[in-house]
Amino acid sequence: MVRALIGRNGKNIKLIQEQSNTRINFKDRDGAEDKLCIIRGSIEACNVAENLILDFINNQPVLESEDIWVPVACIGKIIGRCGEKISEIRSLSGAKLVVSDDEQTLTTKRVTIKGTQEQINVAKSLIEDIVEQAQQSRQRLE
């Protein structure tokens, strides 16, 4: 969350500092994953900064992760030539996709989809369409 709060090139945290007339720093805490947020300024300015930070955190989308199992025979269609198809799915859905290489099943592979529930649903739908088309093509050939 700290990375998102800081933003690319510090854009978000700079904006909060400007709006609240404060200085904001983050400090590592021993043995903890989270960081300590230090806000410097007048009491009123610090309260404004704290509220802006809380608003930012509360407005962040909830990211989830979902695994789906795809027939091994369809994985190539999902990845596409040079990764073109999986890049298209990522672009259209906004989700992150990872095709697992560690599965030892002969018939299916795990695809992990990460993003908001809406992004996951879009990616799943696109993948399901590809699988359905691939299976229909295979049935016509038989």
Mean per-residue pLDDT of the chain: 92
Q: What is the pLDDT of residue 124?
A: 97
Q: What is the pLDDT of residues 111-131, one digit of tens each?
A: 999 999 999 999 999 999 999
For residue 7, pLDDT beyond 70: yes
Question: Alpha helices, DSSP H only, in the chain?
Answer: 2-6, 11-20, 43-58, 72-79, 84-93, 117-141
Rounded to an integer, the average pLDDT of 21-29 is: 93
Q: What is the pLDDT of residues 65-80, one digit of tens each?
A: 999 999 998 999 999 9
Q: What is the pLDDT of residue 2?
A: 86
| Domains detected in the chain | 2-58 (3.30.1370.10), 64-141 (3.30.1370.10)
Instruction: Name 65's bridge partners.
Output: 114
How many residues does this entry show for the chain?
142
Q: What is the pLDDT of residue 103?
A: 64
